[in-house]
């Protein structure tokens, strides 16, 4: 058990994998994830296996079958013990020992092995750099304080909402443009003309259990899809864990994204010569690839980013990646190979920051340079939350019926449902149901979303499985643009026709009573 009962989801994965050489065969995580938590809201029990990953369906299905034959529930009264003190050990019924541990220690030690902390200290302590992290009153707050303030020397004022609260302060701890409003306002995301010298150069947010992240620059939002692609682009240059050795060893093994995530990562994989995997939504689909040595970095459009270092997405890992990229682009990692060798020999690496960084390279410049090299995947997501489950399922069933009717049936529906003006601008090529066959164990995941393809884009429909009431319909819109004069437009400007086309195509207003989303990302 972790001190104060607090440990992030990625930290729990690290504990299972590393503590006492990975002796544990599993662990229980009590969590509300990124949903509203507390007595009157969400609270769940999650089981992770010995590799630190969420239990796969072949195990959870067996557990579910066993619940069908439960005839009685027995309770064991536990002794009162102190969760506030490290090392507290309690013998329970003379059968097993409970110990209070530092829930951050294993994860933090791992981060020091993955990243080059001296470079990060130079950046964070530089007078030319400013940074803010919003813990959204989740478990990421105490972890962020330990990481940024105690280890990297950041000022405590760079942290906001970092006190962990059982109900997350009554807020929804989901790091997106809707729910992280105070951070979004501070970073002037919707008012870039008001960016000034007081606006932090990097803004980041975590969620309730510290596995999601949002990255912001002054007046600039980094989509999760672009974020994981850029991390992959720079990983072998800025993250020691992925740097190639002089003998050619190391480096990135492969990349993966969930199906709804934009295809920006595919472009990076192609240039780097790496395998790319497209999986259903759900981190468990990445872990088989990791355990087989095929996958190094992966991400989801739902603000989840991670790597093979643990078997969960890791929000603070993603923030450290961006800090590393910024440090690299501003000349703070020029001697990283020599300094890594010094660390191996037990020597102290100097971390004194420069007095001033000339021509500072920030988040927006890094992203825009990425677009110029790879093209821009314009991307938006609409969430229709807490809708009637029956109506939502009827809509999805209707869309699925279009996948089996052939091209003639598809075009017939388009002619009837989509206005002529939109049909002239966008020509749908095909529609399908996303089905995934795991390349490692051959397991099949069907009905993972409906995809409508266009020559340079796609629209996607999914029902979300992470909410606790009603149904959430998610719609995703993506168009690829590589013309130089079209790279810096507003997403809505580029995607407006595709959005209107997809909304008309699926007849969502007819099914759920509205075509106005609850959340736009």
Per-residue model confidence as pLDDT tens digits over 216-262: 999 999 999 999 999 999 999 999 999 988 777 789 999 999 999 99
Give the pairing type, strands 457-463 and 450-454: antiparallel
Token pair 């981060």: residue: 111
Report d(CA 46, CA 208) in Å as an integer: 14
Distances (CA, A) of 511 to 395, 449, 456, 475: 6, 17, 28, 14
Per-residue pLDDT band at 80 (split at 50, 70, 90): confident
CA atoms within 13 A on the CB side of 45: 5
User: By the 8 A CB rule, do 92 and 78 touch?
Assistant: yes
Judged by DSSP in three states, 288 sits in helix
Element (H, E) at 15: helix 9-18
- Stretch 456-472: mean pLDDT: 83
pLDDT at position 466 over 60: no
| Percent helix / strand / coil, the chain, rounded to 5 | 40, 20, 40
- Stretch 313-337: mean pLDDT: 97
* Residue of 33, 126, 140, 307 marked catalytic: 33
Distances (CA, A) of 441 to 25, 77, 193, 437: 21, 42, 52, 8
324 assigned to active site: no
Report d(CA 211, CA 315) in Å as an integer: 4
Q: Measuring CA to CA, which residue among 502, 506, 477 is closest to residue 492?
A: 477
Token pair 């972790």: residue: 2
pLDDT at position 63 over 90: yes
**Domains of the chain as residue ranges with CATH:** 3-103 (3.40.120.10), 106-239+315-373 (3.40.120.10), 376-520 (3.30.310.50)
Range of weakest confidence among 86-95, 425-434, 489-498: 86-95
CA 176 centroid distance within chain = 11
């Amino acid at each position: 058990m972790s001190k104060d009962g607090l440990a992030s989801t990625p930290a729990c994965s690290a504990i299972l994998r590393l503590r006492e050489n990975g002796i544990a065969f599993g662990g229980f995580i009590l969590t509300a994830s990124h949903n509203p938590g507390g007595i009157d809201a969400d609270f769940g029990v999650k089981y992770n296996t010995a590799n630190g990953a969420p239990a796969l369906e072949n195990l959870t299905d067996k557990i579910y079958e066993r619940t069908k034959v439960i005839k009685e529930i027995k309770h064991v009264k536990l002794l009162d013990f102190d969760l506030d003190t490290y090392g507290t050990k309690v013998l329970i019924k003379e059968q097993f020992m409970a110990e209070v541990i530092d829930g951050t220690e294993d994860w933090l030690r791992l981060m020091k092995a993955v990243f080059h902390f001296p470079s990060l200290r130079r950046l964070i302590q530089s007078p030319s750099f400013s940074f803010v992290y919003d813990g959204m009153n989740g478990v990421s707050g105490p972890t962020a304080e330990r990481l940024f303030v105690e280890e990297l020397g950041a000022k405590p004022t760079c942290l906001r909402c970092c006190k962990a609260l059982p109900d997350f302060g009554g807020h929804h701890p989901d790091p997106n443009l809707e729910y992280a409003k105070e951070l979004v306002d501070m970073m002037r995301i919707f008012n870039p003309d008001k960016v000034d010298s007081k606006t932090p150069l990097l803004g980041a947010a975590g969620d309730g259990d510290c596995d999601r992240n949002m990255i912001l620059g002054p007046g600039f939002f980094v989509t999760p899809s672009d974020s994981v692609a850029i991390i992959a682009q720079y990983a072998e240059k800025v993250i020691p864990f992925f740097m190639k050795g002089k003998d050619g060893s190391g480096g990135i093994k492969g990349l993966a994204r969930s199906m709804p995530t934009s295809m920006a990562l595919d472009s990076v994989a192609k240039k780097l010569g790496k395998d790319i995997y497209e999986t259903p939504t759900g981190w468990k689909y990445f872990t088989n690839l990791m355990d087989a040595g095929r996958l190094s970095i992966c991400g989801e459009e739902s603000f989840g980013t991670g790597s093979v270092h643990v078997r969960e997405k890791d929000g603070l890992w993603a923030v450290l990646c961006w800090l590393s990229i910024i440090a690299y682009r501003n000349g703070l990692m020029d001697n990283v190979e020599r300094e890594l060798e010094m660390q191996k020999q037990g020597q102290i690496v100097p971390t004194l920051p420069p007095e001033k960084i000339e021509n500072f390279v920030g988040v927006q410049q890094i992203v825009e340079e990425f677009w110029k090299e790879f093209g821009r995947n314009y991307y938006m997501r609409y969430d229709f939350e807490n809708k009637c489950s029956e109506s939502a399922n009827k809509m999805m069933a209707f869309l699925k019926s279009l996948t089996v009717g052939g091209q003639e049936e598809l075009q017939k529906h388009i002619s009837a449902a989509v206005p002529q003006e939109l049909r002239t601008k966008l020509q749908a090529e095909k529609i399908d149901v996303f089905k995934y066959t795991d390349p490692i164990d051959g397991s099949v995941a069907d009905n993972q979303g409906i995809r409508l393809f266009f020559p340079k884009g796609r629209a996607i429909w999914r029902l979300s499985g992470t909410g606790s009431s009603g149904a959430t319909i998610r719609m995703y819109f993506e168009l690829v643009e590589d013309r130089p004069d079209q790279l810096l437009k507003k997403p809505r400007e580029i995607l407006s026709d595709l959005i209107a086309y997809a909304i008309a195509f699926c007849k969502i207003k007819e099914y759920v009573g509205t075509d106005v989303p609850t959340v736009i990302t």
